[in-house]
Amino acid sequence: MKKTVFIFTTLIIALLVLFQLSKFSVMQGNSSLEFSIAAVAVIFLFVGIYINKQREAKNNTSTSNTNTEKQTVDYTQIETLGLSKREYEVLCKLAQGHTNKEIASLLFISESTIKTHVSNLYVKLDVKRRTQAIQKAKELQILPIS
């Protein structure tokens, strides 16, 4: 739906422009004007293609050069962040895909406490959601296993 809307909107705008141009050419009798417009159109057509291609290339390089082989926990990072022992435990369980309730069971404490720890974690990791917390933790290499 969105695609067709976009296509037709583009077509309509193009038509409008063409109408305007034809009006000018009729009024001014400038025959080379259409050629200029066509040239501009073609040029920017390729500019558009080029820009998009650049973007694609950038995505490819950024996704291929981030290989980490070592799987060691960076304890320095944990200290720098100021994560307490309990908070770190919660973070690990969280990154394993557990719900707050499950983590509570695993650590034998209440879900409320987990929520407190998780909220504090978000502040220290500077994130807003648990999915972002996982991302951040992976980046900082403070998670065991992977």
Q: Which residues in this chain contact DNA in the complex, by CB under 7 A? A: 1-4, 57-58, 61, 82, 84-87, 99-101, 107, 109-110, 112-113, 115-119, 122, 128-131
Determine if 80 is a binding residue for a second copy (CB under 8 A): no
DSSP per-residue codes, the chain? -HHHHHHHHHHHHHHHHHHHHHHHHHHH--TTHHHHHHHHHHHHHHHHHHHHHHHHHHHHHHHHS---------HHHHHHHT--HHHHHHHHHHHTT--HHHHHHHHTS-HHHHHHHHHHHHHHHT-SSHHHHHHHHHHTT-SS--
Is the CB of 21 or the CB of 106 nearer to DNA? 106
Min separation Cβ 123 and DNA, Å:
8
Determine if 52 is a binding residue for a second copy (CB under 8 A): yes
With CB cut-offs between 5 and 8 Å by kind, which of DNA, a second copy, none does residue 86 bind? DNA
Is the CB of 23 or the CB of 101 nearer to DNA? 101
Residue 102, Cβ density class (10 Å: 0-12 exposed, 13-18 middle, ≥19 buried)? middle
Min separation Cβ 98 and a second copy, Å:
8
Is the CB of 26 or the CB of 79 nearer to a second copy? 26
Determine if 56 is a binding residue for a second copy (CB under 8 A): yes
Which member of 31, 79, 108, 123 binds a second copy (CB under 8 A)? 108
Determine if 31 is a binding residue for a second copy (CB under 8 A): no
With CB cut-offs between 5 and 8 Å by kind, which of a second copy, DNA, none does residue 31 bind? none
Contact call for residues 94 and 118 (beta carbons, < 8 A): yes
